[in-house]
C-alpha cells in the first residue's frame, strides 16, 4: 500500500540469468548474467574463466554479476586473487557476497557489493510456513530495517537479494528506504554445508574406493547430478544440488507487495532438464 492506501503494483525492472558455464550464455534470455557460485567455495571459478566470461558478456551488451560463496580462510585467498584480476580488467559489474569475510575483501578492493540471499535472514524452509498460519504477519519477512541499514552504513550496500517465501512477501517497510531488491526463481535455497553430499553420495553409489574419504576434493559431480528428496516438504520438490538443498519455488509476482519494481534472477538454466530426469532418489 502507498500513503493513499492504494495497492502498489510491482513490475520486473530487469531480468538476470544464472549460468554455470560459457556455453549457457546463448541460453540466457536476460539483460544481466550471474556467474560463479553462491554456496560452494570449491566451485569458485578461476580468474581467467571469470575474466573471459565477463568480457564476452560485455561484448554481448549484457551486465555482469559475480556470485561468491561463504569462504574459509584458504579460499579467501582465491577470492582476493580473483578480485585482483578483475581490478586489472577494470571490472564494473556487481559482486554478490554471501559471507562477511568476502564482503570485507570486496569493500577493500573498491567494488560494488550486493548482499546475497545467504546473508539475508529470510525464511528458507518451506515447512516453516503454512497458509493457515499467521507467521508472516507476526514476524514479517525475517529481516528488518536494521539489517539493511547496517550493511548500507558499514559497506555502502544498496541492493539486497531475497527469494520467495511459501507465503506472501510484504516489503512495504522498505519502499521508502531507497534500496533495491533482487528475487530468485524458480529454485529457492534451504541450506548449505561445507562437506558436499552430492560428492559423497556419488562416490558411494559408484562404489568408489575413496567413498567417505577426501570429501574436500571436488570432482564437479554437481554439474550433471541432482538428487530428489522423497517426501521432504510436500507438495514442494526438494533437491540436493552440490553442497546445498533447494526446493522448486517459482515466483508468483502477485505474492510480492510493497515495492514498485524488483530484479528477477532466473536460476533454472541447465537444471530444468536434470529435474526431469532425476536418476537417484534418496530419503531425507
Please give the Cα distance from 239 to 111 (Å, whole number): 33
- The predicted structure's pLDDT at residue 27: 67
| Domain-located, residue 74 | yes
Please give the Cα distance from 95 to 116 (Å, whole number): 9
Q: How far, rounded to the nearest angstrom, does the alpha carbon of residue 275 sit from its chain's CA centroid?
A: 18
Residue 224 has a CB neighbour count (10 Å cut-off) of 10
- The predicted structure's pLDDT at residue 275: 52
DSSP state of 72: -
| Domain-located, residue 138 | yes
pTM for the model stands at: 0.85
What's 18's domain CATH number?
3.20.20.120
For residue 96, what pLDDT band results from cuts at 50, 70 and 90? very high
DSSP state of 3: T
Q: Interior CA angle at 52 toward 47 and 58, to 5°?
A: 125
Q: Domain total for the chain?
A: 1
- The predicted structure's pLDDT at residue 232: 67
| Domain-located, residue 275 | no
Please give the Cα distance from 108 to 98 (Å, whole number): 16
| Domain-located, residue 28 | yes
Model confidence pLDDT, tens digit, residues 56-91: 999 999 999 999 999 999 899 999 999 999 999 999
Q: Which of 1-5, 102-106, 146-150 has the highest mean pLDDT?
A: 102-106
Model confidence pLDDT, tens digit, residues 20-53: 877 787 766 889 999 999 999 988 999 999 999 9
Domain range enclosing 97: 11-188+249-268
| Domain-located, residue 148 | yes
Helix (H, G, I), strand (E, B) or coil at 97: strand
| Domain-located, residue 253 | yes
| Domain-located, residue 237 | no
Q: CB burial class (10 A; 0-12, 13-18, 19+) of residue 32? A: buried
Q: Interior CA angle at 61 toward 55 and 66, to 5°?
A: 50
β 238-241/227-230 pair status? antiparallel
Task: List helix spans (H) across 45-144.
Answer: 47-59, 73-88, 100-109, 135-139
pLDDT surpassing 90 at residue 200: no
| Domain-located, residue 194 | no
Amino acid at each position: 500500500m502507498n500513503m493513499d492506501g492504494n495497492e502498489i503494483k510491482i513490475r520486473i525492472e530487469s531480468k538476470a540469468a544464472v549460468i554455470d558455464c560459457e556455453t549457457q550464455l546463448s541460453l540466457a534470455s536476460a539483460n544481466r548474467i550471474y556467474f560463479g557460485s553462491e554456496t560452494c567455495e570449491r566451485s569458485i571459478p578461476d580468474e581467467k574463466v571469470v575474466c573471459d566470461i565477463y568480457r564476452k558478456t560485455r561484448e554481448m551488451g549484457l551486465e555482469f554479476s559475480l556470485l561468491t560463496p561463504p569462504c574459509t580462510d584458504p579460499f579467501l585467498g582465491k577470492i582476493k586473487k580473483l578480485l585482483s584480476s578483475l581490478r586489472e580488467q577494470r571490472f564494473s559489474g556487481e559482486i554478490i557476497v554471501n559471507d562477511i569475510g568476502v564482503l570485507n575483501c570486496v569493500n577493500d578492493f573498491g567494488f560494488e557489493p550486493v548482499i546475497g540471499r545467504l546473508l539475508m535472514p529470510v525464511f528458507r524452509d518451506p515447512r516453516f510456513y503454512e497458509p493457515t498460519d499467521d507467521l508472516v504477519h507476526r514476524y514479517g519477512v525475517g529481516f528488518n530495517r536494521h539489517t539493511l541499514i547496517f550493511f548500507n552504513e558499514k559497506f555502502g550496500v544498496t541492493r539486497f537479494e531475497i527469494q520467495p517465501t511459501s507465503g506472501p512477501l510484504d516489503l512495504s517497510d522498505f519502499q521508502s528506504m531507497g534500496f533495491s531488491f533482487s528475487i530468485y526463481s524458480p529454485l529457492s535455497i534451504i541450506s548449505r554445508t561445507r562437506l558436499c553430499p552430492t560428492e559423497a553420495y556419488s562416490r558411494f553409489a559408484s562404489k568408489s574406493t575413496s567413498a567417505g574419504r577426501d570429501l574436500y576434493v571436488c570432482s564437479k559431480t554437481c554439474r550433471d547430478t541432482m538428487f530428489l528428496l522423497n517426501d521432504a516438504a510436500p507438495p514442494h520438490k526438494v533437491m540436493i544440488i552440490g553442497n546445498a538443498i533447494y526446493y522448486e519455488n517459482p515466483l508468483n509476482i502477485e505474492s510480492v507487495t510493497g515495492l514498485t519494481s524488483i530484479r528477477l534472477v532466473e536460476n533454472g538454466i541447465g537444471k530444468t532438464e536434470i529435474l526431469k530426469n532425476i536418476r537417484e532418489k534418496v530419503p531425507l
